[in-house]
Amino acid sequence: MTTKITLADPAAAADLGTYLARAAAVVDGAARLVADAGVLAVYAPVLTPAGLLDDAAMVLGLRTLALADRDASVDVVVPIASLRARLDAAVGGSIGVPTAVHSVTWAGIVPPRGGWVRLPTPVDAGMLAAVADDGIRQVAAALPEDPGEAVVRQVRQAVWNEPIPGHEPLPRGAAFAAMTLGFLGEPEEQAGVFELGPWSRLSLRRGHVLVKRRAWSLAR
């Protein structure tokens, strides 16, 4: 497996660093790197189930960047902190691949890479921003003083698993991910919505949000 990857545009390293910093502010854990056919895909968790019995949707961010070497091959889960340190030390867009971690449960669920079907109704970026803002206010209002981790997770799950009105296959957590990861541009931008089995994808110019819906969803 490739131990070093080189971005086609060295300036993209700073952009990737910004994306990872935003991801770490939500979940300072691990990211999955997949390099194939000259493209680097960087998956980062935003909302994940607590375990096998948790029916919460899984929400991942995805940024893709062009690579200088089309033959580079990587599929590894690495600590976000280590990857950010390698980016800070990158020269000419060449980034060392950090040591893999093997205890990240969400990374074992592989999002589809092809076969997506576009739905006929896109979503306005402005609407996504409004949904995310409203959800953030609801979470803040519902949390008691000094809540424990279990209470925080319960409140967040209750708010972010609610569907986006008019776009029911997408939970409100997809809007939260798009906002916190910096994917929302102009309010009038139209985000494409795609489906494949239990998966949904929200695609904007700055990045993608992938959602694996909970088991009971009628949209499966």
Give the pLDDT of the chain (220 residues) as one tens digit per residue: 668 999 999 989 999 999 999 999 998 899 999 999 999 999 999 998 876 556 778 999 999 999 999 999 999 999 999 999 999 988 888 999 999 998 888 888 888 988 999 999 999 999 999 999 999 999 999 988 888 888 888 898 889 999 998 898 899 999 999 999 999 989 999 999 999 999 999 999 999 999 998 654 444 4
Q: Please list, in sequence order, all residues whose beta carbon lies within 8 angstroms of the beta carbon of residue 47, skipping any fewer than 6 positions away.
A: 56, 57, 58, 59, 156, 160, 173, 176, 177
* Domains along the sequence of the chain with CATH: 4-108 (3.10.150), 117-212 (no CATH)
> Would you say 158 and 132 are in contact if contact means Cβ atoms under 8 Å apart?
no
Element (H, E) at 164: strand 163-164
pLDDT, residue 54, reads 64
- What are the helix (H) ranges across 3-44? 12-26
Q: Please list, in sequence order, all residues whose beta carbon lies within 8 angstroms of the beta carbon of residue 30, skipping any fewer than 6 positions away.
A: 45, 77, 78, 79, 80, 101, 104, 107
Write the single-letter amino acid at 184. Answer: L
pLDDT, residue 185, reads 87
pLDDT, residue 217, reads 46
Prediction pTM value:
0.92
Give CA–CA dist 76/3, Å, rounded: 10
Question: Alpha-carbon torsion 183, 201, 211, 216, what sign?
Answer: positive
- For residues 90-108, b (16+ Cβ closer than 10 Å) or e, as one string? beebebebbebeeebebbe
Give CA–CA dist 30/45, Å, rounded: 8
